[in-house]
Amino acid sequence: MNHKTRTLALSLVLLAGSGAAVAQTNDNSPSPVQVAAQTLALQPGDIEAMRSAIDRPLGFTEIKGSREFRGELIVHARKGKVATAEARVAPLTIRQSRLVPERVIRVPDGMSEGQMAAMLMATGDYEFVEPNWTLFPAIVPNDSQYGSSWQHTRLQSASAWDIETGDSSVIVAICDSGVDLDHPDLQDALVSGYNAASGQTQAAGGDVDDVNGHGTFVAGCAAAQGNNGIGVVGVGWDFTIMPIRVSNNSDGTASAFAILDGARWAAEQGAHIINASFSGGTSASNQSAARYIKQQGGLLFWASGNDNAFVEPNRPDYVLVGSTTSSDNRSSFSNYGPAVDVTAPGSSVRSTRRFGSYGNGSGTSYASPIAAGVGAMIRSANPELSPDDIQAVLYQSVDDLGAAGRDDFFGRGRVNTFNAVQLAQTYVRPTVLPVSSGFEDAGWADLFAASAGSPTLDTMPEAPEGTSVMRLDNDDAITTGALAGRTLYDDAMISFDLRADNLEPGDALLVQYLENPDFAPANSWATLAQIDDRGAVNEGFLRYEIELPSALEWHGVQVRFVAQGSGDDAWLLDDFSIDLVNTGVAPLADSFDTGVLSPVKWFFTTNTTVEYDNGTFAAALGDNAFLRSHEIPLFQFGFVPAYLRFDAWKSAEVASSDTLTVEVFLISGQWSTVATLTGSDLQTSPELIQIDLPIGAWALDDAQVRFTVDSGGVFYLDDVYLGTEQLSTGCSDADLAEPYGELNFFDVSAFLSAFNAGDSSADFNGDGNFDFFDVSSFLTQFNAGCP
């Protein structure tokens, strides 16, 4: 590829981002950006990031009586960004978690929750920002004289109790309005708890007695003691109950943060099953807390809500529970949709009430602890099961209601205690991640199965890993078995080496992913990459790194490779693995030859893809595109100059005033613009751009580059490099010495030295001899000068 070379030498630029001007509104009241500047502890680059987000507030919807604004946000810092993220919001902090990087902040006057959240998310330092909703107990009032616990008939509880009655070592935490500490069916099962509303443990004086009555009813649904001759019985007879009071309000309402703080505390104290019978069950903060709880060995259950409303999205790390009637119909009040995982009895179920009494009630508030009780029974039947395993057994042991398989009204089905304890005793775990295969012997079949055609192992001494590869011809396909879900804070990726032989136009290899079999039936595989006959895969093995669309949270995940070809074409696969994304590799070097963006190299992208243009794969940045690298540890090379280079070109639709802005991160914590390329600067064919980076970008442990596009067309990037090696940009073969890029006496001297030493660099005509013809050829190129 021929390039015209442009060298850009820039010195250190000091930015004063926090002092940048911010406009007022027309009525002279402060703009939201001004309010943020006045109330937050701004970090470098904040003003620019917040300006970009001000016109795109996040769309939070208040539902009266279900979730209501309270003028507060929950902010959760991203991994690796905690110090900056928390320093920024410190002036607005009301409360913070002792266990995770999460805070409650007030929303300042003059700004909405959606505006503040959008501006904070634009900094890139937060995993999520969302309202600290006021949430309501998910209860529907009913007749207190209902006289039977019909739920046990549907659950087949009596048959289950012949196998397992519930173990006292299993702790069920009830995050609610408290629990009646003197109730005869509960008091002997209680252990010390926590008041999350006041942040005080029971041992230190925190009040966990029931302030409303809701929590006592919920506790009885899950764990009222059995075989004691009085009252009712929960799903299990002998569970230990941990009271977590999350509300000090007589109506039982609680903040989202208090519920999640209480749930995390319970997990830290050894709770195996945790129930929250409130509205607001689909938030990102719930998912984040559920991940943490799983890491501590617990599983979170949450009520789906009583609005007869469609709810989404589905969250992988906790169980959202809808309600059913005694005739196995969906309760009329029960929320439905993709978010619902399972259902449980919740219409007119009988349980414990405050002041030692009993009664019945309806709501997903009561369906959720019944499902949680089944989870506790699974743990009792097989204490070796992990939270992921308990969740999988619960899902696989339901009675399927409604449409066959998972549906929006019943989820996977209505829980069944008898089925669950039976399956718990025989459950075989899926293959645990990470997984890998070098395709060296028949052991590959422990991970993959031939799902189409006749895949074979081929001996290949030059294989990247070992001496053999997996060969896929024509319509061959291999598919992994079910893989175990795993809770990850980091992203996960598929990695493999691949080479193609004898491809023809139209031949392709599909890399596909089945995230959750309950949501994606066997014919609904998502294609992560379609690799075809274009690019360097035809020239030798390439290493592919493909980010998975989730962090492998689901049990039952599968991956497959599907060949689509004919004749004697072949795809040669080696060194396959699924594991965490391993970032922090220096230098940054990406040729985009695989046709996909590498999750190892790129941290954040918007409107950026990899496309084939000018005979090569390249990053294609459309309008308002953003491409930012991971942190690159250049410090390992010492305090030496750093360089950035890349090939750049444009599509025909790019206007002369459109811009590609290039920035690098400085030791000062600021971003410095090192190049602004316009449509008039670039051609429709590749041009090499080289930049000597300012001294503030040298030897950093977190060096980064980011590209931003403002264009109606597409800017292309290829062969991006950020490191410490300077590319020789010689004008021709005659440019033998520094300074490269010009021809002078030093090049003549270098040639004469090489000629006299018989060095191959002086063999200009390539005949293996050193004579007049080499001198003549050198002089011809030298006199031609630089292009």
Cβ(518)–Cβ(408) under 8 Å?
Answer: no
Q: Which residue has the tokens 């645990």?
A: 432
Task: Name the residue among 665, 653, 662 with its Cα closest to residue 623.
Answer: 653
Burial of 61 (0-12, 13-18, 19+ CB in 10 A): exposed
Q: Is 365 a catalytic residue?
A: yes
DSSP assignment of 16-72 equals: -GGGS--PPPTTSPPPHHHHHHHHS---TTHHHHHHHHTTS------BTTTEE--SE
Among residues 365, 397, 672, 711, the one annotated as catalytic is: 365
* Cβ-based neighbour number of residue 283 at 10 Å: 21
Which is it for strands 171-176 and 273-276: parallel, antiparallel or unpaired? parallel
Residue 552 half-sphere exposure, CB side, CA atoms within 13 Å? Answer: 26
Rounded distance between C-alpha atoms, residue 414 and residue 401, angstroms: 7
Residue 677: other Cβ atoms inside 10 A? 21
**Residue 214 annotated as catalytic:** yes
C-beta separation of 122 from 49 below 8 A: yes
Specify the DSSP class assigned to residue 91.
G
Name 242's bridge partners: 173
What is the secondary structure of 427-492 as a DSSP string?
--PPBPSSEEE---SGGGGGTEEEEES--EEEE-TT-SSTTEEEEEETT-EEEE--B-----SS-E
Name residue, tokens 């693995």.
577
**Structure token digits, residue 723:** 């490191």
Say which of 76, 152, 183, 214 is annotated catalytic: 214
Cα 276 to chain centroid, rounded: 24
Q: What's the token pair of residue 524?
A: 């609904």
Q: Which of 193, 190, 192 is CA-nearest to residue 225?
A: 190
What DSSP character marks residue 504? -
**Annotated active-site residue in 125, 167, 176, 763:** 176
Q: Which residues contact 182 (CB under 8 A, 6 or more apart)?
A: 356
Residue 163 to residue 700: CA distance in whole angstroms: 61
Are 754 and 761 in contact by the 8 Å Cβ rule? The answer is yes
Rounded Cα–Cα distance for residues 580 and 369 (Å): 34
- Which residues participate in catalysis according to the annotation? 176, 214, 365
